[in-house]
Copies of this chain bind each other. A is one copy, B any other.
């Protein structure tokens, strides 16, 4: 009901009389008053003027479901959203939902994570109300061997969305980092639940530093706010990211991996540079020359041999 009241106020953008709202939503004036009270408590700045009614002045910087779904216009991503003020990890909740059969596009968002996860069992700093911490479920008809393409298309979607909203040139560092000016803005974590030859479902997690101040960022990290000197609506950024990811996912289904990889090349900063990749106890050093159809990085070593690495940490050598 509170979502419906908000919808009405947002549509009107002017004063709406309490009587009109009550009649339209078939609730008592007293019930309306209570809902408005709760909305104010949640951070919505709603002014009430006698004889004029209610007006929404501003919405809080929260990733409320009603805020995300309003004007989202996606086909499947975010059609079902689970919202948490604080949670251990959106990955864990989304995995649970996936095991229980939640449909493709199901989204889990949290204002803060107490055990945010990064790649290879590492943590992800997730301070409250500062960043975007979200995981969504995909059920692609691809084999586990090809799952890395989902990381690539998510990275592309994030870069496209950030450029569109902020104008910043976000770049991809293989395999899963989103960078701005050589500092880490965000990351992607892709986890599979699969048979050996068929994916049951995939959970893709994204973490983006949006309104973090310098003191809430780890070294070598950056936020959109730090980079541009202004705060952003996390809701708008998340919405655009979801739209762009969905577009790229549909492109993958229609045209195959090649199109995604072409886009990925446009946004990456790994190819062409000299890299050192630590991969399962050994190191491969050389020039990153290309990415292959499975998402592996092709490194041309000084010996002239080209080696494909599918995982590991990349250090740029200068």
- Pair B295/A196 contact, Cβ less than 8 Å: yes
Q: 5 more A-B contacts (CB under 8 A) besides A151-B196, A175-B196, A175-B197?
A: A95-B99, A143-B310, A150-B196, A192-B192, A197-B312
Minimum CB–CB distance from A154 to chain B (whole Å) comes to 11
For A197, the chain B residues whose CB sits under 8 A away are 148, 175, 310-312
- What's the dominant secondary structure at chain A's contact region? mixed
A191 to B141, CA, bound (A): 16
Given contacts A99-B92, A120-B195, A194-B192, contact A147 B148 (CB under 8 A): no
Given contacts A99-B92, A143-B310, A144-B145, contact A192 B198 (CB under 8 A): no
The yes or no answer to A189 lying at the interface (CB within 8 A) is yes
Minimum CB–CB distance from A128 to chain B (whole Å) comes to 25
The yes or no answer to A38 lying at the interface (CB within 8 A) is no
Q: Which of A144, A147, A151, A189 has the most CB of B within 10 A?
A: A144
Contact among B96, B148, B196 for A148, CB-based, below 8 A: B196
- Pair B190/A192 contact, Cβ less than 8 Å: no
Q: Which 10 pairs show the lowest CB-CB distances between chains A and B?
A: A197-B311, A148-B196, A147-B196, A144-B144, A192-B194, A190-B196, A197-B310, A145-B145, A193-B193, A191-B195
The yes or no answer to A35 lying at the interface (CB within 8 A) is no
Closest B residue by C-beta to A199: B192
Given contacts A195-B119, A198-B120, contact A311 B143 (CB under 8 A): yes
A150 to B194, CA, bound (A): 14
